[in-house]
Amino acid sequence: MPTQAWSPSSWREKPIAQDVIYEDKAHLEKVLTKLRRLPPLVSPVEIDRLRVQLADVAAGKAFLLQGGDCAELFDDCSQDPIEHKLSLILLMSLIILHGSRLPVVRIARIAGQYAKPRSKPTEMIDQQVPDGPVGADGIQKTKTEKKEVLSFRGDNVNGYEADDRAPDPERLLGAYFHSTATLNYIRTLLLSGFANLDKPLDWSFSHVRSPDIQKAFAAVIESLQDSLDFMKVATGGVRGGERGGTETVDLFTSHEALLLEYEEAFTRAFTTDRPASFSPSPSRLSTPALSRSNSHVRGVAETNTTYPHSPVRPPKSPKLSDSFHGLSMSINDLEKEATPKYYNTSAHFIWIGDRTRQLDGAHVEYFRGIQNPIGIKVGPSMEPEEIARILDIVNPDRIPGKVTLIGRYGADKVERFLPAHIDAVKKTDHPVVWQCDAMHGNTKSSKSDPNLKTRHFIDVVTEITKSMEIHKQKGTILGGVHLELTGEVNDEGFSVTECIGGSMELEDKDLSFNYRTHCDPRLNYEQSLDVAFLLADYLKS
């Protein structure tokens, strides 16, 4: 158990995995100073609300859908890609909600998912070099040579192009501003009726190769449309929003908190329950529309729309006898004032990756001090007794909804490792959300091009269904899934071709058709909806 005092920077005293080494430390410091001044992206109210919703997931009263890119690129920060991602997650959640009759908590890997851990710090790339002198025809022959370059670590560290691999601190500012623009557009879309279900849903199943599956999907949609039509009437017609209608939903943001300098800069202290006069005016700071509960979707009561968390400013004088702004404070108030809570305000939910979860390491140290709900990747290399220890460190108060264990074993390994992990947690009194990341244990090389990474749809679905079965046997609950997916299309409107299989029956030879990811392969639009239909079906039974 850690006994040392925690602070947003106490991770600096610990060994750190996957560190980024910047040449120009003064430049880094200048950027961090700027980041520390920039406003938060998300608020404590929103973060707390997600934690409450995740407590419902832990208790089996809601289902968690988390998904998005492996790595966002700054170039993805554009209208169409954001709309495609958002609409895919909303559609998936609607399908799951309809089948399972459970409220769906949506978390996107978006608005900050830029940094990537890598298995190796460098990689070999092919480069063209001159081969002999320029010929009499004026043409320079070239040959391919291997060159070792630093690995691409994500757009907030270095560039994808081989000549742009030196870490550049300026990219941290780029990450903030691209995250901000992305989140701003998401909020704008949601507040402008993007999630409005009053419009009829436009579905096409022409991509579905099997007539039986096509029929099954169409039947689900018919029933879903029927329910929506009913709800429209029940909640007051097309303008049903005012009566708890169908106009907007919650969507939370997440990323892997890998670059701790960046995370530290957005870790801000807030106090709760301070005397009202110390709180910023609710009329200025509340976000009524985003706070509006969608009781039709979540089945929960209206949540508080005020802003009870006040940024911590040091009192002018710390003496007990002092008064603050003319109001005398009780000792109690001063104690609250003296123990602020820290929120990572760069995203609602952040997770620790499989490569950075060392018990005595910098990342675990950072994570143990923040209020946000957090994820911990758990794979075959995690010893069962380590799980209990990491839970004690990051959630000593056993707060429900605080920790999501994100299993990422692989379809062929989940039966070997998950049962012991469940037993280890059952021996404790930790309330966790169990989530299945059905992607990261299932990465394979393409047969037609060994340089391309791919995943098989069948492995993804198998890992999810096996996880559900194992939890059922153990008397625990698989609360959600974690997927790498994208609704992105090329200029001709074709979905990406990065994973094999699904109802459109993509084959290995199809991968190069529209392979776009700079990192891990993602389920495309159709394959993602396939997963949603299957999940809805499993959760029904």
Name the residues that contact ligand PEP, by CB under 6 A: 70, 117, 256, 353-355, 377, 408, 440
Cβ neighbours for 43, distance < 8 A, ≥ 6 positions apart:
285, 287, 307, 309, 345
Q: Give the CA dihedral 72, 73, 76, 81, nearest 10 degrees.
A: -30
Closer by beta carbon to ligand PEP, 381 or else 490: 381
CB of 171 or CB of 408, closer to ligand PEP? 408
Minimum CB distance to Mn ion, residue 109 (Å)? 9
Q: Tokens at residue 305, please?
A: 């729309």
Tell me how far, at minimum, the Cβ of 358 lies from ligand PEP, in Å.
13
Strands 403-407, 433-437: pairing kind: parallel
Cβ-based nearer residue to ligand PEP, 117 or 275: 117
Helix (H, G, I), strand (E, B) or coil at 98: helix
Q: What are residue 391's phi and psi, to 5 degrees? A: -65, -40
What is the H or E stretch that residue 220 is in? helix 211-234
Shortest-Cβ-distance residue relative to ligand PEP? 353
Q: Kindly compute the dihedral angle of the four CA atoms of residues 531, 535, 536, 539, in this order, to the nearest 10 degrees.
A: 180
- The interface partner of residue 292, options being Mn ion, ligand PEP, none and the CB cut-off 5 to 8 Å by kind, is none
Residue (of 356, 435, 348, 312) closest to 47 by Cα position: 348
d(CA 295, CA 289): 13
Give the nearest distance from C-beta 117 to ligand PEP in angstroms: 5
User: Closer CB to Mn ion, residue 274 or residue 522?
Assistant: 522
Residue 263 interacting entry, from Mn ion, ligand PEP, none, C-beta within 5 to 8 Å by type: none
Question: Are the CB atoms for 469 and 477 separated by under 8 Å?
Answer: no
Residue 408's binding partner among ligand PEP, Mn ion, none (Cβ under 5 to 8 angstroms by kind) is ligand PEP
The nearer residue to Mn ion, 194 or 457, going by C-beta atoms, is 457
- Tell me if 391 sits within 8 A of 433, measured CB to CB: no
355 known member of a binding site:
no
Q: How far apart are CA 445 and CA 454, in angstroms?
A: 6
Q: How far is the CB of 352 from ligand PEP (least distance, A)?
A: 8
Q: What is the DSSP letter of 118?
A: -
Is 98 labelled as part of a ligand binding site? no
Q: How far is the CB of 67 from ligand PEP (least distance, A)?
A: 11
Q: Rounded distance, CA 49 to CA 103, Å?
A: 14
Q: Annotation-wise, does 377 bind a ligand?
A: yes
Q: Which does 155 bind (CB under 5 to 8 A by kind): ligand PEP, Mn ion, none?
A: none
Q: Which residue from 467, 392, 457 is spatially nearest to 434, judged by alpha carbons? A: 467
Q: Which of residues 313-332 bind Mn ion (CB under 5 A)?
A: none
Q: How far is CA 284 from the centre of its chain?
A: 29
Q: Phi/psi at 195 (nearest 5 deg)?
A: -95, 10
Residue 199: enclosing H or E segment and its boundaries?
Answer: none
Residue 297 binds Mn ion (CB under 5 A)? no
Q: How far is the CB of 164 from ligand PEP (least distance, A)?
A: 21
112 binds, among Mn ion, ligand PEP, none (CB under 5 to 8 A by kind): none
- Tell me how far apart the alpha carbons of residues 200 and 136 are, in angstroms, rounded to a whole number: 67
Of the pair 119, 321, the CB lying nearest ligand PEP is at 119
**Residue 471 interface partner, choices ligand PEP, Mn ion, none, CB cut-off 5-8 Å depending on type:** none
Q: Residue 67: name the closest of 386, 340, 460, 383 by CA.
A: 460
* Position 390 contacts Mn ion (CB under 5 A): no
The residue range among 236-244, 356-364, 450-458, 514-522 that interacts with Mn ion, by the rule CB under 5 A, is 514-522
Helix (H, G, I), strand (E, B) or coil at 329: coil
Cβ neighbours of 109 (radius 10 Å) = 26
Q: Are 54 and 105 in contact (CB under 8 A)?
A: yes
| Least spacing, CB of residue 357 vs ligand PEP, in Å | 8
Q: Which does 117 bind (CB under 5 to 8 A by kind): ligand PEP, Mn ion, none?
A: ligand PEP
CB of 368 to Mn ion, least distance (A): 24
- Indicate the residue among 2 and 117 with the shorter CB distance to ligand PEP: 117
Pick from 75, 79, 106: which is nearest to 188 by CA? 79
Total binding residues for Mn ion by CB under 5 A? 2
Q: In the complex with ligand PEP, which residue's Cβ is closer, 241 or 410? A: 410
Contacts of 173 (CB under 8 A, 6+ apart): 31, 34, 35
Q: How far is the CB of 355 from ligand PEP (least distance, A)?
A: 6
* Under rule CB under 5 A, residue 35 binds Mn ion: no
Nearer CB in complex with Mn ion: 205/515: 515
| Min separation Cβ 110 and ligand PEP, Å | 13
DSSP 8-state code for residue 152: P
Q: Least distance to ligand PEP from the beta carbon of 289, Å? A: 31
Of residues 341, 383, 337, 338, the one with CA closest to residue 358: 383
Return phi, psi of residue 410, to 5°: 105, 145
Interaction between residue 520 and Mn ion (CB under 5 A):
yes
Q: Tell me: is residue 484 an annotated ligand-binding position.
A: yes
* Residue (28 or 175) nearer to ligand PEP, CB: 175
Among ligand PEP, Mn ion, none, residue 377 binds (CB under 5-8 Å by kind): ligand PEP
Q: Does 436 bind Mn ion (CB under 5 A)?
A: no
* 137 is an annotated ligand-binding site residue: no
The torsion region of residue 124 among left (phi > 0), alpha (psi -120 to 50) and beta comes to beta
* Complex with Mn ion: residue 197 or 481, whichever CB lies closer: 481
Q: Please list every residue from 39 through 78 that binds Mn ion, using CB under 5 A.
A: 70
Residue list, annotated binding site for Mn(2+): 70, 440, 484, 520
Residue list, annotated binding site for phosphoenolpyruvate: 109, 377, 408
Residue list, annotated binding site: 70, 109, 377, 408, 440, 484, 520
Question: Which spans of this chain sit near Mn ion (rule: CB under 5 A)?
Answer: 70, 520
